[in-house]
Structure 1
Amino acid sequence: MLPQLVLWLVGGALTYRVALSYAEKGIDQSLTQSVRSLARQVKPIGSGLLIDFPKAAQDILEQDPKDRVSYMVSSPPGRFLLGNSTLPNPVELAPLTGVPILYNATIDKKPMRVALLDVDYGEADAPQRLRVQVAKSLAVQKRITAELVADILAPLLVLGALLGVLVYGGVSRGLIPLKRLQAQLGDRREHSLSALSPIEMTQAPQEVHALAGAVNQLLSAVRRSLGQEKRFLSDAAHQLRTPLAGLISQTELAIAEPDAQALRARLVKVLAGAQRSAHLVHQLLSLARNEADVRLQLLDAAALAREVAREWTPRALAAGIDLGFEGDDCLMVHGEKLLFREALSNLIDNAILYSGQGSMVTLRCSQVGGQALIEVEDNGPGLTNAELEHVFERFWRASELPGGCGLGLAIVAEISHRHNGSATAVRVAPHGLRVVIALPLARRGA
């Protein structure tokens, strides 16, 4: 309603200006005709003038006191001959003979519009000039303008009020689908689980299907986030229960053990259990961190892979493993450096742990088409085809060797997914395992 009111006021001001301009043009045309007609009534006779202006014509000009018309004839200009002697001459205008000029003046404290016309007469050796002036009050102009503006704005005001009612009704009617959707969502507040279920499009009004779709996407993201939190808590509780129970049991036995040698053996088991629990907690936290949204930045995957290989070389040598790197010098991808380093570290850790002493582990970087391939290959015992189907599942282990918790490759798969890539595992002939991370290459200039 406020914009409509502002537009109506602006329209009224513009209408007033336009109406005032047209009324002024009408008065100017009338005054121009009057001053020419009056000039024609003054006829030169020799060196004198014959003014043929009957009393009836004078009465017609001066009969309306509200729309008073005054005139003045002077010759030479300024020397009063006939009419109203109080009509002023223009101050800044220089009249030309035979050309009417128009100007504003104040007569008896009233605004007037004046038309002036100079006419030459007389003999060639004795030229003379006649000035004819006709003035008209501007009251009529203002009255006409006010009437015109009122005649225009009054219907517009009625139409504006009618339009306001129609707009209010239309907006209210248009908001009905949103109110129905609000009622549907409001009914879910008491049921936390069902509140996250998608809105049925058959129940949502057609006008708000796009909004309902956006709300469904939001609900799906919230539901997925809650599911990840619940799964993390469940996995953490399940996986920590066994090592913690073992720690408690071994600690109780160590307290009651009188033999120093047996006590040392118990403490070694306690240490191993504590290390396994710490590793498990680290992996669980890493998994939870990887499931959050990540910011991808431009990085050199090959350079980072060489750096990780150098960091793991001392541990590989200590385990009797030949760890090497080969491949391209530069592979630009979009990724998160810490997460990508975590994935490579897990791959090398798994290869060192399960390939066995005397094995070879190779970290390889290559480019195939529009993808960057980062591979970790070992010539250890490898996995069977049936085991390969479960290799990326959480807490699945193909070996009972101590040190693992079944989360390393699951973390690798999750990180690959967060980097818009994929992780696959294939058997290597005659024996061994190759895990491949495939990431899209960064476009030049991106």
Structure 2
Amino acid sequence: MPKPNLRRQVSLWLLLPLVGLLALDSWLTYHRAMSAAHVAFDRSLAFSLKSIREGTSLHNGQIEVDLPYLALEMFESDVGGRIYYLIREENGRAVTGYADLPPPPGHAVPAPYETRFYDATFRGQELRMGMLRLPVHDVPSAQTRVAWIMVGETIEPRQALAREILTGSLLQEGLLIVLALAIVWLGVGRGLRPLNRLSAKVAARADDDPAPLDKAGLPSEVEPLVESINQYIARLRSMQESRRRFFTDAAHQLKTPLAVIQAESELALRETRDERASLHLKRLHGAVRQAGKSVQQLLSLARLDADSGHVVKLETLALEKIARSVTLDWSPVARSRGIDLGFEEEARVHVRGQRELLAELCGNLIDNAIRYAGDGSMITVRVATPPEGALLQVIDNGPGIAPQEREAVFERFYRSSATQNVEGSGLGLAIVREIARLHHARVSLDDAPGGGLIVSVLFAQSAAQ
């Protein structure tokens, strides 16, 4: 498949509207030309009416017509269109000419001595008609009759003149379109020169050159492209920094658990009593478990980081099924601490998301609630469908989080002042926010009625489908 060409695309985008405008202009030009032809040829009809008028008289109460030679020659000529005429009395009696020549519409009957032009169809031909309503006087007898003088001409000569004008106009406008496209072709080529220079500059850069591109000397239309490239370079640098920060954070987080493992192992080897050895081994197990959890959370954060390039493959999922399944998985842990862990499903909720990440989000929320609400507390996992989208909530009756700390708790390793003595790494809510970001959802913290904390994850309408 050939690659798209900007010059060709711009030329086509201009050509199609220009062709449309040319068609519209052709229609308008033809009608203007026909109007001009009517004006020119109507003068000939008016001359014929005037000639017949001069030869019309009244004798003994009868209208008589003496057609002048020039009018007769015009009527009998085969050059151009055919000419038809009729002179009749107002009562309808034909004096001479074609008796079935169509009269004007009722509203178009002219006043005395007034000439009126109109269009009509006669014997299958389109005619341009001219009519004069002429009072004729007989002075000796003091009688007056009204004569209708009607002359019609077929419109072929007018159409031929209009087509000739249209052809000349089309040739002229077609030439202008060709010249305009040629100018656009050259202009686009000249306008693309800055892009070609920019392309050469980017191709010549070293792979490890982090400096942003220089926008000096570039057209204003190209500056957004350069800005986007610079933003991309900045994201790459940020991603590299994020990787470095991850290893630093991981080392910092693992330092203490590993030190505990080492110390407890030494104590276990020194002790000879079984009970004390069991105690130290129990502490060792807890430290190892915490270290493993911290490593897993750090890996999750590295994978979910905004600069990691991680792409979430979305599919339509039943949120209530995922939340119920995760709640059941955490039930044994909750029972071991005397916690009443329940699940409420107000409605079936479908969201666009990734099953593993949504399960991890729900699991982190339940884990945090179990850790910080305390033994004997009550925790409820709730799924609902408010008008704004889909809602997942984890509600507990624990100590909650102070309002001034509710934004800070989403930072990595931040521990609320009320939970300093509780085992944890301070990474759970940071992971929850990153997963919510990937699903275009919003996380909020609120006070629970009667005390405690409500963690809400609201999926927008576009995600709740």
TM range (shorter): 0.5 to 0.7
**2:150 aligned to 119, 133, 140, which one?**
133
- 1:55 is the counterpart of 2:69: yes
Contact 1:118 1:129 in 2 (8 A): yes
Instruction: Tell me the equivalent position of 2:454.
Output: none
- 1:14 is the counterpart of 2:28: yes
1-structure distance, mates of 2:285, 2:63: 137
The structure-2 alpha-carbon separation of the partners of 1:207 and 1:47, relative to structure 1 and needing over 3 Å to count, comes to closer
2-structure distance, mates of 1:341, 1:252: 32
For these two proteins, the number of residue pairs brought into alignment is: 329
Give runs of aligned pairs for residues 20-419 of structure 1, distance below 5 A: 20-45=34-59, 47-49=61-63, 51-75=65-89, 78-82=92-96, 84-85=97-98, 88-90=101-103, 92-93=105-106, 95-96=109-110, 98=112, 99-107=114-122, 109-122=124-137, 127-186=144-203, 191=207, 193-194=208-209, 197-201=211-215, 208-237=222-251, 239-240=253-254, 243-244=257-258, 247=261, 254=268, 259-261=273-275, 263-264=277-278, 266-267=280-281, 270-271=284-285, 273-274=287-288, 277=291, 281=295, 336=407, 339=410, 343=414, 345-348=415-418
The structure-2 alpha-carbon separation of the partners of 1:242 and 1:136, relative to structure 1 and needing over 3 Å to count, comes to same
Structure 2, gaps ≥5 residues long: 1-14, 308-368, 376-398, 431-465
How much does 1:224 deviate?
Answer: 0.9
Contact 1:290 1:339 in 2 (8 A): no
The structure-2 alpha-carbon separation of the partners of 1:279 and 1:132, relative to structure 1 and needing over 3 Å to count, comes to closer
How much does 1:203 deviate?
Answer: 8.8
Q: TM-score, normalised by structure 1?
A: 0.57
Structure 1, gaps ≥5 residues long: 294-307, 315-323, 354-402, 412-446
How much does 1:157 deviate?
Answer: 0.6
How much does 1:174 deviate?
Answer: 1.5
1:90 aligns to what SS in structure 2?
A: coil
The structure with the largest alpha-carbon Rg is 1
Give me the identity figure in percent: 26
2-structure distance, mates of 1:338, 1:209: 39
2-structure distance, mates of 1:269, 1:332: 34
**1:3 aligned to 17, 37, 44, which one?**
17
2-structure distance, mates of 1:235, 1:201: 37
Contact 2:49 2:130 in 1 (8 A): yes
Contact 1:86 1:107 in 2 (8 A): no
1:263 aligns to what SS in structure 2?
A: helix
The structure-2 alpha-carbon separation of the partners of 1:236 and 1:313, relative to structure 1 and needing over 3 Å to count, comes to closer
| Residues 326-376 of structure 1: per-residue CA shift (max 9 Å, x gap) | x9xxx899x758628985x434556x79xxxxxxxxxxxxxxxxxxxxxxx
Contact 2:48 2:151 in 1 (8 A): yes
1:226 aligns to what SS in structure 2?
A: helix
Contact 1:88 1:105 in 2 (8 A): no
| Residues 80-134 of structure 1: per-residue CA shift (max 9 Å, x gap) | 434x325513274363552333333344543221112232335687543322111
The one-letter code of the counterpart of 1:339 is F
The structure-2 alpha-carbon separation of the partners of 1:313 and 1:243, relative to structure 1 and needing over 3 Å to count, comes to closer
1-structure distance, mates of 2:76, 2:407: 95
How much does 1:228 deviate?
Answer: 1.1
2:81 aligns to what SS in structure 1?
A: coil
2:86 aligns to what SS in structure 1?
A: strand
